[in-house]
Structure 1
């Protein structure tokens, strides 16, 4: 049959029907596309997609059914100088594959799945409001790999995360959402394998619609998809949302020296952004060798189809977009009106879904630059809170902005504090325990001579590098960890807790453990700081129960009612403009109220000496201590208290 032109755009990927499947592949520049079904014995049966609608090759492939393994061979010119890298000698992965398997020769094949094979029962997304959301960033494998209570054969898997031991821990801690580090099918890096290391973080995606098979307990690719769905259903039943950390900014195919695995061999110039005057090279703002061509409809369609698939078929609740700024670069510069952002904004399937941007890439920092219905990882919160508590001078005013939800970043564009995803630590960098134990990174295990990882960590060891038996150093480190977590969980915005920080998890000073698929990265459940864990549970319980501690807005518009926050100096007086930048001023109190509910006083002292605080006074008001990092604090409920060096206290008013 000769190629024809249909009016309807075929759905890309594999659509089961009758005794086979309709298969459609986008390629603007190819001459022919063949679907290659791979038999159990390794044999290959080719079917040419003999119809063409626009730039979509499509046709019927007999005998395809759930479990069928397949790949694509795409014929066209091999002309790298023009950006064309067709080679039908290579078996390529369908970018719309919903499951994958590795062939014996290392080729990654797609596997046909059956969307109707999983019974979701009464699954309902929690739809937790942003104002009540607490995000817990975790790695599917690392969280349960050593977890007691999870059957050994399920540890480190989707099924392991669905186990009662894992879910009960999350629920008792008080988080409302897990943010899973990349679970799209990714590829191991050859240079890491050569050194005996592995890509642990997974920011090397290849298939945007398929779960990574190494995190599944099931060997069968169809069961792997259902295992992921079962994990989502189990978390939902516990009231916990599932947010995916997604990597759409680049793929594992790298630069012009990288492998041809999928998009590069299907339609390189449509899916990747090439250098205008040198199309054999790739435009790269990701640091990985390539950037997806988000100015092209095919690349945008792949992203949007992937997002909708994970929402409708896999029931996830949100996305955190790695290096999201790259996705807004249509013509080179970031654009808040880019097609990527516009498509998401108008899509009804994605309207109720949480969208979180990592608002930077290797060429730009865009905190505050995303639309109003997005939240953003707020790197300024991380940096300024670290600086304040380690004693950097002149930080008080900036620190107050962070606690208030960063109005200096968001208020001018009429965005609320819920635009800010606050974090002190994340997967990339020191853990909280290491942030307070090391002044320098210690990445020797990565095999890069210590050249990798961030050097400006705004960390401190407080007198000894790494573990120490010094009692006073350890007491100070413990206080600082409590101070940082209290700041995170009592600030306006959406808090994100790095998994394990509540237990003082350490990576031994490694601040770039992307290649450490071992005990350096896995959660150590035998050792942990129970006192710190108890504090986090108490903080989250208070945040959940008290509206004053999780406001949508800290600053009320004129005429909207009483002030919800009052900032005071330690002596109880209001700040003057000259106070904020004085290097000696390192103490502050926030009086947090909500009409009809309790009022709280949050006292913070980052000075190296004790500071006397004059408590806010109203007739018949009595202050009662709720939580503190000062284990020797004596509260004078009448008017004053002295807070130890580098410590916080949270007090509740009673009448």
Structure 2
């Protein structure tokens, strides 16, 4: 598709009027309803004309930008056969670029046909928009190996004291200088915005006095949520531009796997009312497929649905200038007739499209459907969330036996997962904590989840969090307990920043945010998820910034190529050496020792002048002396100045990661003798 070519569906504004176009193979009649300027009163209902191949359209002269509208469809009503046509249901345009108010769940939206209820008063109205000129085409700022910063847009700034109240919780707040300063201090390569498109609460939340705080329950795919982006696409565009000027890219987290219409008891809002059988996957006997756990599954292998997904991606690239996308429950985008296929037409087109081919594409490579775990199976250039990394790192620092080999594999880029089909570089997005699950601080504080506030008697959320409480009983306010938990956070963060390939940090984990053990806080739009900027641990934040500075200064850390133990083509030095704490190579017995919790990783050619970086990992609770191999003319010194690293002749305390870098002896002066190569 040429860069200036627009979608063929939606409310398409032109000089003389608006062309309204929608698709339905099964509907007999479609109408567009035109509303007043407040979107409250239907002033005209016009029937669209069939144009063949399921296209229904009508050009209405004299209408301009700002018109509020919705669609209606009629046809057979037989829910047992997947047919839900009901002209009393006002339907949001699947191609709406703007809506005039947020969605609000109301049980009346689920009423059956013939009950005499027009849902127009309950529904937002689409707003016909004249789009700006496309953003100039420029390559993405983000490159594999960088730091992704996952941001829940509303929770991120709701409590930020330096952001004006009217901006808090919005996309525009991300362009505020204090936010940009924080992101630059952390060395963020790209922010990954959790869903900002318009979503609706799940039906069980309003009676509990809760609302969806994450946004993973969309209705349509293009319109931004007015609560998050009251300025619409221009608000997102301006924020992207401000972040780009600061050297920070923007990745959008998008949900194409399901919609908020849920199961057969859910509301009819858009796709269900247009053509339920086409837009959603069904079993042979007409039941909705539920590979998402939300009640429905979008049929991404249907050509018209695939077209809509691609049009959505092009819209956000062309009209907002984003760097790329993260796809929630991504196997659904690659399912063809229910089976995942890495060569699925939709996935292939994303990699070949003129607007999308150079964008960042990140898959969450699992869902709950049959054969739903597809880690490592997405085609290049897709990056993939690496839950094996998350789990193995947590197991190691929890103190599980026999995990040191798995830790080394994860540090080296997870070649066991991604070195397929001759690939030489990792496509992993390594993370220890994400929005879904415990925060990094809670991993070291709670052995068990505490989701009581979610109203489901603590039954929701994962039970196995691979978390711990340091084995310390008693008052959490005791200094020893607090110090143990802080040390573990340091160790987890250091491990993340020492890992090959792309890494991801969830906003607030750099300063110790807690959700009080809630590992499924999607329904907590309150202080449980809102970042506490006033109470943040600024010491931990400074340590995270130091780790990021080191990672950017040492190319060997962010290089996505797999570590092999052999010299790369441009060097005589092995890319990695794995050693015991005594400086001897790890042999087969050492790798398989279930009690081993110590490891030294020495990266060769860590800097442009062929110096090495040593990562000393002491996962044992006991202190230990580490010995590093010496090269003539070089000497080891701390790469990050901490109290422990500055006196490396002393034993390295338990549950610690230390970074040491080689310096030329001529520059090291008297410190060479003092440190003695340790």
TM-score, with length taken from structure 2: 0.90
Question: Hey, what does 2:375 align to over in structure 1?
Answer: 367
Whether contact under 8 Å (1:71, 1:94) holds in the other structure is yes
5 Å-filtered alignment, 1:265-344, equals 265-276=273-284, 278-279=285-286, 281-344=287-350
Question: Hey, what does 1:78 align to over in structure 2?
Answer: 77
5 Å-filtered alignment, 1:508-547, equals 508-547=516-555
Picking from 346, 367, 371, the partner of 2:352 is 346
Question: Hey, what does 1:18 align to over in structure 2?
Answer: 15
Q: Distance in 1 between matches of 2:376 and 2:636?
A: 37
5 Å-filtered alignment, 1:430-509, equals 430-464=438-472, 468-509=476-517
Question: Hey, what does 2:111 align to over in structure 1?
Answer: none
Question: Hey, what does 1:645 align to over in structure 2?
Answer: 654
Question: Hey, what does 1:32 align to over in structure 2?
Answer: 29
Using the TM superposition, give the Cα deviation of residue 474 of structure 1 relative to its aligned residue in structure 2, in angstroms: 1.5
Distance 1:584 1:463, change over 3 A: closer
Q: Distance in 1 between matches of 2:363 and 2:228?
A: 25
Picking from 207, 215, 218, the partner of 2:228 is 215
Matched, 1:191 2:199: no
Question: Hey, what does 2:600 align to over in structure 1?
Answer: 589
Decide which structure has greater strand share. Answer: 1
Task: Give a deviation string over 1:611-654, Cα, whole Å, max 9, x none.
Answer: 22111222232110123777486223xxxx52111111000111
Question: Hey, what does 2:51 align to over in structure 1?
Answer: 52
Q: Distance in 2 between matches of 1:226 and 1:559?
A: 46
5 Å-filtered alignment, 1:123-138, equals 126-131=140-145, 133-138=146-151
Whether contact under 8 Å (1:607, 1:645) holds in the other structure is yes
Whether contact under 8 Å (1:588, 1:603) holds in the other structure is yes
Question: Hey, what does 1:599 align to over in structure 2?
Answer: 612
Whether contact under 8 Å (1:329, 1:335) holds in the other structure is yes
Q: Distance in 2 between matches of 1:128 and 1:415?
A: 21
Picking from 565, 578, 584, the partner of 1:567 is 578
Q: Distance in 2 between matches of 1:632 and 1:129?
A: 31
Distance 1:467 1:360, change over 3 A: farther
Q: Distance in 2 between matches of 1:380 and 1:416?
A: 19
Task: Give a deviation string over 1:426-447, Cα, whole Å, max 9, x none.
Answer: 0001111111111111111111
Question: Hey, what does 2:91 align to over in structure 1?
Answer: 92
Q: Distance in 2 between matches of 1:158 and 1:123?
A: 22
Q: Distance in 2 between matches of 1:273 and 1:568?
A: 52
Distance 1:179 1:559, change over 3 A: closer
Whether contact under 8 Å (2:258, 2:298) holds in the other structure is yes
Using the TM superposition, give the Cα deviation of residue 269 of structure 1 relative to its aligned residue in structure 2, in angstroms: 0.8
* SS class of match (1:210): coil
Whether contact under 8 Å (1:178, 1:240) holds in the other structure is yes
Q: Distance in 1 between matches of 2:454 and 2:58?
A: 47
Using the TM superposition, give the Cα deviation of residue 23 of structure 1 relative to its aligned residue in structure 2, in angstroms: 1.7
Task: Give a deviation string over 1:353-372, Cα, whole Å, max 9, x none.
Answer: 00000000013211111112
Q: Distance in 2 between matches of 1:464 and 1:260?
A: 52
* SS class of match (2:220): strand
Distance 1:629 1:412, change over 3 A: farther
Whether contact under 8 Å (1:324, 1:358) holds in the other structure is yes
Question: Hey, what does 2:154 align to over in structure 1?
Answer: 141
Of stretches 414-423 and 643-652 in structure 1, the one that deviates more from structure 2 is 414-423
Picking from 580, 588, 601, the partner of 2:591 is 580
Whether contact under 8 Å (1:417, 1:492) holds in the other structure is no
* SS class of match (1:231): helix
Task: Give a deviation string over 1:404-425, Cα, whole Å, max 9, x none.
Answer: 0101111133334440000000
* SS class of match (1:274): coil
Question: Hey, what does 2:125 align to over in structure 1?
Answer: 109
Whether contact under 8 Å (2:598, 2:620) holds in the other structure is yes
TM-score, with length taken from structure 1: 0.93
Q: Distance in 2 between matches of 1:503 and 1:64?
A: 52
Using the TM superposition, give the Cα deviation of residue 558 of structure 1 relative to its aligned residue in structure 2, in angstroms: 7.7
Q: Distance in 1 between matches of 2:594 and 2:492?
A: 20
Could you list the runs of 5+ residues in structure 1 that have no partner in the other structure? 1-7
- Once superposed, what is the RMSD of the aligned Cα atoms? 2.1
Q: Distance in 1 between matches of 2:519 and 2:475?
A: 16
Question: Hey, what does 1:43 align to over in structure 2?
Answer: 42
Whether contact under 8 Å (2:97, 2:223) holds in the other structure is yes
Whether contact under 8 Å (2:200, 2:260) holds in the other structure is yes
Whether contact under 8 Å (2:250, 2:322) holds in the other structure is yes
5 Å-filtered alignment, 1:62-77, equals 62-77=61-76
* SS class of match (2:45): strand
Q: Distance in 1 between matches of 2:447 and 2:646?
A: 29
* SS class of match (2:227): helix
Using the TM superposition, give the Cα deviation of residue 236 of structure 1 relative to its aligned residue in structure 2, in angstroms: 1.2
Q: Distance in 2 between matches of 1:620 and 1:471?
A: 43
* SS class of match (1:189): coil
Whether contact under 8 Å (1:548, 1:599) holds in the other structure is no
Question: Hey, what does 2:114 align to over in structure 1?
Answer: none
Using the TM superposition, give the Cα deviation of residue 183 of structure 1 relative to its aligned residue in structure 2, in angstroms: 0.7
Whether contact under 8 Å (1:389, 1:646) holds in the other structure is yes
Task: Give a deviation string over 1:275-297, Cα, whole Å, max 9, x none.
Answer: 11x21x20111000000112211
Whether contact under 8 Å (2:140, 2:358) holds in the other structure is no
Q: Distance in 2 between matches of 1:270 and 1:445?
A: 38
Task: Give a deviation string over 1:245-273, Cα, whole Å, max 9, x none.
Answer: 11000011111111110000101111000
Using the TM superposition, give the Cα deviation of residue 135 of structure 1 relative to its aligned residue in structure 2, in angstroms: 0.2
Q: Distance in 2 between matches of 1:393 and 1:340?
A: 43
Aligned length: 634
